[in-house]
Amino acid sequence: FHTMAECAAADNMDGSRDASAVVGNMIYEPDLAKSHLGEICNKLGTCISDPNKQTQWAICMKELYDLLNKIEK
């Protein structure tokens, strides 16, 4: 995923900032990422299924960003 995020940033794709933030959350908050692993895998699977669909990438990265940045109660 980190490589995908770096490629998106290099191509200046929409969603690349969200992707970088998600990578950071996965590195620095691994327990939070683990608790949402199924959702993360589903979003990445959607992106991988059609790698040329940049709009879908941006939407998925925004959803993952929101998922990993919401305040857990």
SS (H, E, C) the chain: CHHHHHHHHHCCCCCHHHHHHHHHHHHHCHHHHHHCHHHHHHHHHHHHHCCCCHHHHHHHHHHHHHHHHCCCC
Mean pLDDT over residues 11-32, rounded? 89
pLDDT at position 63, please? 93
pTM, rounded to two decimals: 0.81
pLDDT at position 72, please? 54
pLDDT at position 71, please? 56
pLDDT of 33 > 70? The answer is: yes
Mean pLDDT taken over the chain: 86
